[in-house]
Structures are given as structure tokens and as C-alpha cells.
Chains A and B, each alone.
Chain A
Amino acid sequence: MGAQLRVYKRRIRSVTATKKITKAMEMIAASRVVKAQRKVAASTPYATELTRAVTAVAGGSNTKHPLTTEPENPTRAAVLLLTSDRGLAGAFNSNAIKAAEKLTAQLEAEGKEVVSYIVGRRGVAHYNFRERKIAESFTGFTDEPSYADAKKVAAPLIEAIETETAEGGVDELHIVYTEFVSMMTQTAIEARLLPLSLDEVAAEAKPKGEILPLFDFEPSAEDVLDALLPRYVESRIYNALLQSAASKHAATRRAMKSATDNAGELIETLTRLANQARQAEITQEISEIVGGASALADATAGSDR
């Protein structure tokens, strides 16, 4: 076998092996998207009921709470960025990071100091490489986040927002995550969690303009709100974690699908080249044989005479 042909054969083998791997990863990601979507759906009733309850207390009573009132001049804002632990997901992580950086720049332009909280190894690596300060980071659960994970993430954030700004607390809480729109579309979005803008929450809770009843609070409106808001934040973070996980799997699936397609194309091209090399080799051998034979015939014809 010629050297050229051997090189092509080797490359075809290696690309075939890679294709098998990317194909497997694509199928794993596809099954995980479905699972993650199911988890998003399962968490929806809790989130909806909680949002309803928050609207009811905040709208049904004139309670003032630090988490629902806008501070006069906010000086410090916390940004929670959700990325994934693993890459191989196309532009998934870089989109989220870009959105976070845009938000950070915007907040800084408004004169606020930004404190970063990061979920996922990719985001942490990005910030560490640029030697930016991270207030707190969480890793190890981005593929399948549980409610306990969301609580873990929410705890320092709630503590920071409840602390006075002068003592190291924050005035605002923003979250940047990737929203799962469909299998094909995932968009990095940013949202302000706190202070709560009640109009937005209200619009979410009652789409058809229903009137909320006058609630009787047990033990009191303040206490209910006190207990309710941290849960609300946790549930929002949980939902964001789940959506981010679903988006990551969808992005992985897409990236791996195009990798598999590319590998297929590459194999096809390489096979053609290998066939060409083989044919060229055969043609050369034939012409060598014919040439040799005719030279031999000429030589014997000459000696006969």
C-alpha cells in the first residue's frame, strides 16, 4: 500500500472514532434535555403559587419591607451569573458571561459597585483568568440542580441583601441566566430579583385581571412577608438553575450534532481522496508493467535477428 493511501486510511479511522463519541454525547444530551424540561415543569406549580402569595401580601397590605422598597440611592448590586460546569456546549457559556459583563458595565456606569456571585466552573474560570473578584462561587451541580442547591446559592445572597449597605450588604440583586425558549432557541437574559417590582410580579401572577381577595394574615402581614420573600428568591433561583441546565443540554446537543455532521462530511471527503490515491497507485502499477513488458519484448525481438 502506498504511503499516501495509508495516511488517508489512518485519518478516516480517527475521524470515525471521534464521530462515534460526538454522536453518543448528542444522544445523552438529548435525553437530558427532556429530563431537565420535566423538572422545570414540575417546579412550576410551586413557583406560580408562591408568586400569587407574594402579590397577595404585597398588594393586599401596606406593608413596607426592605426587600420590596427601592433604596433612595443604591450603591452596591449583586449579580448572580449561572454558567455550566462543563463546556462542549457551543456559545452557551460565553453568551451568559457576555450578558453578565454587559449588565456589570451598565450597573457600574450607574455608579454602583458590583459584587459577583457565580455558579458553574466555566464562569469561575473566566473570572479567575481575568483576576476579577468573585464574592462566592458554587460548582458541581449545574447538570442536575436540586432545590437544596438553590437554597445553598440563595442563602448568601439573601444574607447580603438583608445586611445594611454600609456594613457590606447589597441594595440590589440581579440574576443572569440562559432562558430555555425551545430546543433550538436559548437566550441569555438578565432579571432583577430584588428589590421586587410588584407590578411585574402582579402581571405574572394574574394574566386575566382577576381581583385578589382580601387576605387574613396569620400571624401578621409583616411576618408572612418576612418568611415569604426568601422563599420567593429561592424558588426564582431554582427555576433559573433548572432552565439554565435545560439550555445547557440543548446547546450541547446542538453542538454535538454539528460536530457529528462535520465528522461525517470529513469522512466522505477523505474516502474520496483515499479512493483516488488507490486508483492512482493502480494506474501507475499498470503502466509500469506495460512499460516493462514492452521493453522486454523489444529486447527479445532485437536478439532474434
Chain B
Amino acid sequence: MAAELHVALVAADREVWSGQATLVVARTTSGDIGVMPGHQPLLGVLESGPVTIRTSEGGTVVAAVHGGFISFADDKLSLLAEVAELSDEIDVQRAEQELERAKAEDDADAQRRADVRLRAATAAR
């Protein structure tokens, strides 16, 4: 069996996803980072963006993460986010509507959030 790392994706008010994985790709403030088992201990600040988790069973979990941290030590990875949603929880139609509205109202934050949601939802397909 290949080496694995334990991933816990936690939002402020719930645990969104947890399980074994072989690769996690997330976006930090200084660029995308991929973490595999045996990576050196790491603590980074996350940007809003999609997080891709390749599970041990060969599946892929994509989540939209809005701000937070990534911390990795002893083959245990935690993704802390204020708000995190799995791609299959995302309502594409609603996100699209929100994107339109955010564009109309010129709300950069809302626009970025909706954009991240959409990207996560499409990446999962």
C-alpha cells in the first residue's frame, strides 16, 4: 500500500471532510502547493480557491475554501477554513446567480467567493 496522509478539512462550525489521501493540492498566498505523504512540516495561509484531495481509493474530492490555513505534520494534514464546501454541496445555479449579482454590484469579495465555488464545482466534473 502506498503511503497515505490523513486529511481533515474543517470549517468553523463543522468538519467538512476527513479521510485518507495520497495528494492534496491547495492554494496558499504564495502559490499552489501540493502535499504528499512525507512532506516536511508545513504551516501556510490559504487563499480563496479550490482544494483538491486525491483519496486513497482513487477518487477526487474538490472543495471550495474561503480563507484559512493549511497545516501538515506527521502525515496529518489539516485544512482550516472559515467557510468550506464540498463540490457536490455547491449549488451551481445559485453560485452563478451570485456571480452575476456580485458583478452588477461591483462587490469584489462576493465575486471571488462565487467564482471559487464555480471553479470547484466544474473541477469536480
Q: Give chain A's interface residues, CB within 8 Å of chain B.
A: 39, 42-43, 45-46, 49-50, 52-53, 56-57, 146-147, 150-151, 212-219, 223-224, 227-228, 231, 234-235, 238
Contacts and interface: CB of A to CB of B under 8 A. Distances in A.
A261 B80 CA distance: 47
Contact of A219 (B14, B28, B69, B71): B28
11 contacts: A49-B80, A146-B13, A147-B13, A150-B12, A151-B82, A213-B41, A215-B73, A218-B30, A218-B44, A218-B70, A223-B29
B43 A57 contact: yes
A53 B14 contact: no
Interface in B1-48: 8, 10-15, 28-30, 33, 40-45
B74 interface: yes
A212 B72 CA distance: 11
A56 B74 contact: no
Given A42-B13, A228-B69, A219 B82 contact: no
A45 B33 CA distance: 23
Contacts of B44: 217-219, 224
Nearest to B80: A49
Interface string B66-78: 0011110110001
B10 A215 contact: no
Nearest to B74: A213
A238 B74 CA distance: 29
A224 B8 contact: no
A46 B12 contact: yes
A39 B13 contact: yes
Contact of A216 (B40, B45, B82): B40
A236 to B, nearest CB: 12
Contacts of A227: 45, 69
A-B pairs with lowest CB-CB distance, top 10: A218-B44, A213-B41, A147-B12, A219-B30, A213-B73, A215-B43, A215-B41, A227-B45, A49-B78, A45-B10
A214 B41 contact: yes
Contacts of B29: 218-219, 223
Nearest to B73: A213
Given A39-B13, A147-B13, 13 more contacts: A43-B12, A45-B8, A45-B10, A45-B15, A46-B13, A53-B43, A56-B43, A215-B41, A216-B43, A217-B44, A223-B29, A231-B69, A238-B12
B12 A52 contact: no
B13 A224 contact: no
Contacts of B15: 42, 45
A39 B15 CA distance: 11
Contacts of B30: 218-219
Nearest to A47: B12
B73 A53 contact: no
Nearest to A217: B43
Nearest to A238: B12
Contacts of A45: 8, 10, 15
B10 A46 contact: yes
A56 B70 CA distance: 12
B71 A56 contact: yes
A43 B82 CA distance: 11
Interface in B39-97: 40-45, 68-71, 73-74, 78, 80, 82
Could you say which of B10, B29, B68 has the most chain A C-beta atoms within 10 Å of its C-beta? B10
Contacts of B43: 53, 56-57, 215-218, 224
Given A147-B82, A215-B73, A218-B28, A43 B41 contact: no
Contacts of A219: 28-30, 44-45
Could you say which of A56, A218, A231 has the most chain B C-beta atoms within 10 Å of its C-beta? A218
Contact of A218 (B11, B13, B45, B78): B45
